[in-house]
Structure 1
């Protein structure tokens, strides 16, 4: 697997459903985040330790999601994160793929910026220690 792509297999739990018995739309962000942090971990990046050492945070500045097909209770799926940019901001694309028929259920994109604490200063470059493991 490439260092800029991470996939994890998950199964829809009952508590992620809405009243019509499909995955509630907000839970897709949780699935995206599981893949997001798996991608960072795969690259050897612990964002919490990085913050403790450097005082840099990487808040989400923008998200978008396209819902295509519904996931239901017990269905297995792949949550995939792909890093597409890490110079000025970190940009990741996401896909939720139902396992049994390979249908793409949702697509998303998330953007993160670098912020220096405690000044809350927006940085216009992602630190080298974060960029390099992803090839940027």
Structure 2
């Protein structure tokens, strides 16, 4: 079963735009908090791969669909769910209101494995990451 992780957060004032809603770029920050929570929850240390294997996992694709705006002091849950981890790591993201379950935002992200220092694209995600993410 594919790994999933939920984290509850609250919108700080400095995340707002002039219209008093969360600035669109901040949703990617929320996705990253959930992404790294997911990695940590299944025992995957991407920084450890940099140090021990000289391997990094850059984001190569991301998208977001805004449905309902988040505003100052709103509490929300951001969920990250692994959808693939063989040739790339792909995740779906969902932001919803905990009280009503309303979906505010959906997103997707993809990352690949790259070997340093030559920046060589690896065509497979390390198998222990694939197993940990359940994909």
Name the TM-score class by shorter chain: over 0.9
**Alignment-derived partner of residue 88 in structure 1:** 87
Residue aligned with 2:62, SS: strand
TM-score by length of structure 2 reads 0.96
Q: Distance in 2 between the 1:66 and 1:44 partners? A: 29
Residues of 1 paired with 2:52 and 2:2: CA distance?
A: 24
The Cα shift of 1:3 comes to: 6.3
Contact 2:57 2:111 in 1 (8 A): yes
Residue 126 of structure 2 is aligned to residue 127 of structure 1: yes
Q: How many residue pairs get matched?
A: 135
2-side partners of 1:35 and 1:48: how far apart?
16
1:52 aligns with 2:58: no
Matched, 1:42 2:41: yes
CA–CA distance in structure 1, aligned partners of residues 98 and 133 of structure 2: 27
Partner residue in 1 for 2:17: 18
**Whole-angstrom CA distance in 2 between matches of 1:121 and 1:8:** 33
Q: Is the 8 A contact 1:71 1:98 kept in 2?
A: no
Q: In structure 1, how many angstroms separate the alpha carbons of the residues matched to 2:2 and 2:50?
A: 22
* Alpha-carbon shift at residue 129 of structure 1 (Å): 2.1
With 125-134 and 89-98 compared, the bigger mean Cα shift is at 125-134
Whether 2:54 is the aligned partner of 1:66: answer no
- 8 Å CA contact 1:4–1:83 kept in 2: the answer is yes
Q: Distance in 2 between matches of 1:23 and 1:100?
A: 19
Alignment of 1:111-126 (within 5 A): 111-126=110-125
Give the Cα separation in 2 of the matches to 1:122 and 1:3: 24
Report the TM-score, using the length of structure 1 for normalisation. 0.96
